[in-house]
Structures are given as structure tokens and as C-alpha cells.
Chains A and B, each alone.
Chain A
Amino acid sequence: MSLQIVIAILLLLTMLLFLASRQIRLGRSNFRLRPLPAYEKLSGQVGRAVESGQKLHISLGQAGVTGAETATSIAATQFLSALAKDSCANNTPPIVTVGNGTLLPLAENQIRNAYDAADRLYQYQPNHAQFIAQTEDNFAFAAGVTSELMQNKVLSHVLAGRYGAEIGIIGEAANRQNIQQIIATDDPTALAIGTAVSENVIIGEELFAAGAYIKKEPSQIASLQVQDLLRWVIAITIVGVTIFQFVTQ
């Protein structure tokens, strides 16, 4: 029985996604993205870095793409994809750090694509992305990223993906260097600490909205629309069940 329910939910969501996507493509949807200050700040990052002759640092966190946290890492690469496109067009590629081996080819591929999109593939050199430490070594990763921030002229940095408490060390090091920072993570501990070290925090599910806010593709905006609908369904169900239990007791 539960199997049929899961399949039915998946099919329903797929259908809703296609429908919402089609409506947006045809211009029939009046769904608007609510303003998120951190995403608004993100758009000016590359320009400021190029003007000041400083660099942009993007870290994709410590989650890989072979486990349950794959979605978090994929969402994080959308930040890299958008920022690398602008910065590679000006031949100022971002410093990219990863905390998992499986993220390295993904990050390298995004930078190569960014150079290709700017017709500057001849300027691309491998090893733009840097592996720092594997997932289990949280503090080694924090020390490695901090060292990159200290040794390079970094104007601003984006920490997107899965982090733990060590985000406090990276964030505080960035603050001491007057580096503007945007934190986007889905880990509750990292979010609590991130709020203390940065004003620009992209919280939990907002991380998965990166594609919609940055690239503004119809399928990604449609996905947010379906997500909003699901949230209402779940909220109403929770309230309904609570009232039902309260009344029947």
C-alpha cells in the first residue's frame, strides 16, 4: 500500500511540475519570487570583485554527490555556475574550494563551461577548483578554507552546501579580513552559527531555490511553485490533524 502511495505522490508531483512549468513558459502564471536580500546581494558580487581587482571565493561544502546529501551539493553548484559565468567572462575566475572528492570534477566542469560560454576556453587551465579535505575532516577543511581566505585577496565569498559547526571558524576569519560573505546551507547547526557571523544567510529550503533566483529558468521557478503548494498542503494537514486529535480527546 505504502509503495503505491509513494509512486502516486511522485507521479502527481511530476505532473504538477510539468503543468506549472508550461504555464510559466506560456506567460500564464502570476507566481512571483519573493525578494530574498542574500540573492539580491549575490548579483553584484562579481562586478565588485572585478572592479576592485580582488577575487571571489566560492566553497561548495563537504557533502558529496553519492549520498543522501546530493541535492544540497547540486543546489550549491548552481551558485558556482552563475558566478563563474560572469567572472570567467572577465578572466577573473573565482577561487573554488571543495570538501569532498566527488565535488571536484563537478566544480571543475562548471568553471570549464563558464570559460566556454564566454568564448575564452583557450584561457582555461585545469585545477581551478581546489580540494581541501574530505568530509570527515571538518576542522581540517575549515583550516584549509581559512588559509585560502588569508592568502588571497578575496573581496567576497559564498559558502554554499553542507557545513557543520566549523562554519563559525571560516565565517569569523572572513569577518576579520572584512570579506563580505553569503552563507547558504541546510544544516541547522551551521545555520545557527552562520546567522551569528553573517548578515546574508540563505536558510534551508532557500538554498534549493538558487536556480530559480539566479538563472530564472521556468522549470526551476515551477519547482518552487509546486514546493509552495506542497508546503500549504502539509501545513493544513498538520493543523487539521492537531485540531482533530484535540477535539476527539
Chain B
Amino acid sequence: MLTKRLPTVIAISMGLLTLIGLLFSAPAINRITLTWGAILAAIALLFGVFNLFIVHIRRLLNERNLYSGVLIISMLLVFIGALADELGMDLVGGSTVNYLFQNVQLPLESALASLLAFFLLFAIVNLLRRRRSLKTVLFLLTVIFALIGSVLPRLSIIPESASSLIATISTVIDTVVVASGVRGLILGIALGTVMLSIRLLLGMERPYNK
């Protein structure tokens, strides 16, 4: 019984403490809760890295998974790099971790980010193939208008009246349709967040328990 109730008691107490700190602008309470939160998040991240290592070392040993092998080697390389940085060893003419980040991770992530536009284009084409509804056509038209609206008005070959019309339509879509939709969405999310937070504070929602 105690093991079942203790997490709830701790969660509600911490929730109320944070709420009091925020409502009454008590910097001391806010500092304490933020520090504890940051420490727990850092420990959780450390566990996350261990989890990543254990999962992939198992896959490497049990399933001979090549990708897991590459991941383990990469992890060890970065660890050695960080260790070298800490010991003041200059392996690459500066920070080894920074070097690896700038020359390996950053280009890979940038490449993936630039591919996103193509993924989206394929997704829209596939969407039109899968279901040709009014919603899909409207979606495609909005995308086309958003793209045209951002490029065409800047081209000198387009007559000024046409480019101003396109710019106006594009602005109306952006500032009226999109903005009102997003605001409605955010309002709904805020209501959901408030109600879920109240349930958490009252102990009605216990994701940490059975």
C-alpha cells in the first residue's frame, strides 16, 4: 500500500510546490524545483545513453547487427574524443568532440534536413494517389499557393498586377486562414494541458503507478 501511495504523494507534493512557487513568484521554491528537475533530467539522460549502449551491444552480439556495430564504434570514438579533451590531449588541433560534431553529425543532419522537402513532395503525391478528396486538393492548392506566393512576386518577368494579386492571396492564407487555425489549435491544446495538469495535481492521473 505504501509503495503504491508514496509516488502519488511525492508527485502531488512536488506539483503543488511548483504551483505555489509560480503563483506567488517565490524564486527560492522555483530555484529548488528547477534544480531538482535539471539533476533528474541529467541522470535520466545518462541512463538513456546506457540504454542505447546496452540495446545495441545485445543486438551486435546476439543478432550480429552491423548497424549496431557502427553505433557502438561511434559511441566509443566520441567517448575517447571527450576523454582526450578532458585530459588536454590535442588530437585534431582543437576539441575532438567539436571536430566530430562539425565534420560528421552536422553534415549528416543537414543532409537529412534538406531531404525533408523531397520527402514532403513524395508524401503529397502519394496522398493524391491514395485519396482524392476535396481536403487533399485543398491541401495541395494551399501548398502550391504558399510556394508560388513566396517566389513569383520577386520575379521581374511577372506583371505587377498579377504578382500583387498572388501576394495578397498568399498573405490572406497565411495571416487569416493559417493563423486562425493555429490559434484554435493552440487554444484547444492549452485547455487539454490545463485539465491534464489539474488531474495530475489531484492524483487522478498517475502515469508513474500501475
Asked if B109 contacts A17 (CB within 8 A), the reply is no
Report chain B residues within 8 Å CB of A92.
Answer: none
Instruction: Name which of B110-118, B153-161, B163-171 contacts chain A.
Output: B110-118
User: A102 and B41 in contact (CB under 8 A), knowing A205-B191, A208-B193, A223-B195?
Assistant: yes
A101's partner among B41, B187, B210 (CB-CB below 8 A) is: B41
Query: A71 near B23 (CB under 8 angstroms)?
Result: no
Q: Does A91 contact B (CB under 8 A)?
A: no
**Residue from B38, B48, B199 in contact with A223 in the complex, judged by beta carbons closer than 8 Å:** B199
- A171–B130 Cα distance when bound, in Å, is 15
What chain A residues lie within 8 Å of B79 (beta carbons)? none
Contacts A106-B207, A196-B139, A199-B130 known; A71 to B44 CB distance under 8 Å? Answer: no
* Residues of A with C-beta under 8 A to B47: 101, 104-105, 131
**Taking the complex as formed, is B89 at the interface, i.e. its CB lies under 8 A from any CB of chain A?**
no
Which one of B37, B43, B194 has the highest number of Cβ atoms from chain A below 10 Å of its Cβ? B194
CB–CB B199/A205 < 8 A? no
- The CA of A127 and the CA of B188, in the complex, are separated in Å by 35
Residues on B with beta carbons closer than 8 Å to the beta carbon of A197: 123, 127
Does A171 contact B123, Cβ atoms closer than 8 Å?
yes
Convert A62-78 into 0s and 1s, putting 1 for each residue whose CB lies closer than 8 angstroms to a CB of B. 00101000011011011
State how many angstroms separate the Cβ of B196 from the closest Cβ of chain A: 4
Q: A239 an interface residue at 8 Å Cβ cutoff?
A: no
**Size category, B interface:** 35 or more
In the bound complex, residues from chain B placing their C-beta under 8 Å from that of A81 are 207
Closest residue of chain B to A140, judged by CB?
A: B109
- A127 contacts B55, C-beta separation under 8 Å: yes
Q: How many residues of A contact B (CB 8 A)?
A: 73
From 147 to 175 in chain A, residues with beta carbon under 8 angstroms from any chain B beta carbon are 147, 151, 165-166, 168-169, 171-172, 175
Please report which residues of chain A, range 52-109, place their CB below 8 angstroms from some CB of chain B when the two chains form the complex.
64, 66, 71-72, 74-75, 77-78, 81, 98, 100-102, 104-106, 109
A205-249 interface bits toward B, Cβ cutoff 8 Å, 1 = contact, 0 = none: 101110100000001100110110011001000000000000000
The smallest beta-carbon distance between A120 and chain B, in angstroms, is 14
The prevalent SS among residues of B at the interface is helix
Contact A205 B188, beta carbon cutoff 8 Å: yes
Q: Mind listing 17 A-B residue pairs with CB under 8 Å?
A: A74-B196, A75-B196, A81-B207, A102-B41, A102-B44, A104-B44, A113-B210, A127-B51, A139-B113, A140-B105, A188-B186, A196-B123, A196-B124, A196-B139, A205-B189, A219-B204, A234-B191
Which 3 pairs from chain A and chain B are nearest by CB? A208-B192, A205-B188, A131-B48
B interface residues (Cβ-Cβ under 8 A, vs A): 23-24, 37-38, 40-41, 43-49, 51-52, 54-55, 58, 65, 67, 105, 108-109, 112-113, 115-116, 119-120, 122-124, 126-127, 130-131, 139, 182, 185-189, 191-200, 202, 204-205, 207-208, 210
Residues of chain A having any CB pair with chain B under 8 Å: 3, 6-7, 10, 13-14, 17, 21, 64, 66, 71-72, 74-75, 77-78, 81, 98, 100-102, 104-106, 109-110, 113, 116-117, 127, 129-132, 134, 137, 139-140, 142-143, 147, 151, 165-166, 168-169, 171-172, 175, 186, 188, 191, 193, 195-197, 199, 203-205, 207-209, 211, 219-220, 223-224, 226-227, 230-231, 234
